[in-house]
Amino acid sequence: MQQGEIIYLGVFGSKLYGTSTPESDNDYKQVHQATLEEIVLKKSLTNINNSTNTKSRNTKDDVDFESKELRQFILDCLEGQTYAFDMIFTPKDKWVKYSKTWEELVELRDKLVNKNVKPFLGYCRGQAIKYSLKGTKLKNLHIIMDAINASDGNKLTVSQFINNNSDLLTLDGVKKFNKEFIKGDKIFTEEYIDIVQSSFPGNRQLSDIIPSIKLQIKNYGERSIKAMNDEGIDLKAYYHALRICWELEEYLETGKITFPCQRADFLLKVRKGLEDKNYIEQYINDEINRVMLIPNNLKEADNKFWDDWIVHHYLKR
């Protein structure tokens, strides 16, 4: 599915970063330009996603494809979106298809460079904790299911089960608390149990909550399962956090980003789990804190220039 003119199509992801493995999928990013008719009639699409696999973890045979409309792409650059800067600094040997408009954007990219780096910082911190937390919760759900399977679920209530397995209350996401209900002029108190993402009345039969816990486990998906097996960390998320952190460092110091990544060999070691977990966790934290101390001397975004450029570019078509 495409709209208007293709401004640019290029390699993205691990094959751009220099961190691909034999199992890596093929990742492409595109910029398209809607026609004036599509814009006026509000039929232009800001984002087009034609990925071959949206339900499970990609394999080497899958293709990730996303296209951004030209106006949105420029706006994302001015807002400091990491994907946009990866694209604008992609070396020419990774360009699959390009137009004179793309060559002009690359010539003008110094005017896209600006001091807005919040998306870089947010990505660093978010990726480092997102799947590690999910992996921990998934592991705890399995611990709870093991305890349920070892209990007589057909006879116990949820409260009785927790009382018999009080060590479960030390797990993140598991706690016991009271809820108050008003009925008429009386106040009633009922015990509830939190189990990760769900709360259950303590007097409910243990057997009744098993489907809900199994559904939670199912919904965490393959990446969280891998995080659970890697002692609660998602190695791919950690490698991306470091990659973006080092991109930010280069961007702050030079106003540019180099591909393939200058420390791709180390990133691959992280991705493959060849570095000690405790060392990597501390290293990521130290690197983020170090890079955050680098002065941000980049200029403010030149929104007026790009507003004028967009108007002129679309009207001359």
Q: Tell me which of 173, 198, 223 is where a domain ends.
A: 223
110 and 201 assigned to the same domain: no
Distance CA 6, CA 231 (A): 44
- Residue 248: inside a domain: no
**Residues sharing a CB contact under 8 Å with residue 177, sequence separation 6 or more, in sequence order:** 191, 192, 194
- Residue 144: inside a domain: no
94 and 159 assigned to the same domain: no
Residue-range definition of the domain harbouring residue 166: 151-223
- Residue 228: inside a domain: no
Give the pLDDT of the chain (317 residues) as one tens digit per residue: 446 799 999 999 999 999 998 888 899 999 999 988 888 888 888 888 876 665 555 566 678 899 999 999 999 999 999 999 999 999 999 999 999 999 999 999 999 999 999 898 888 777 656 645 666 787 888 899 999 998 876 789 999 999 999 999 998 889 998 988 777 778 888 899 999 888 999 999 999 999 998 988 887 766 556 655 665 556 777 888 899 999 999 999 999 999 999 999 999 998 888 887 778 877 887 888 899 889 999 999 999 999 999 999 998 87
- Residue 21: inside a domain: yes
- The two structure tokens encoding residue 280: 């990597």
9 and 96 assigned to the same domain: yes
What CATH number did the domain enclosing 39 receive? 3.30.460
Q: Beta strand pairing status for 5-12 and 95-98? A: antiparallel
- Residue 145: inside a domain: no
The phi and psi torsions of 303 (rounded to 5 degrees) equal: -65, -35
- Residue 231: inside a domain: no
- Residue 10: inside a domain: yes
32 and 100 assigned to the same domain: yes
- Residue 283: inside a domain: no
**Total count of domains within the chain:** 2
Q: What's the gap between Cα 104 and its chain centre?
A: 31
Q: Tell me which of 203, 223, 243 is where a domain ends.
A: 223
Q: Tell me which of 200, 223, 246 is where a domain ends.
A: 223
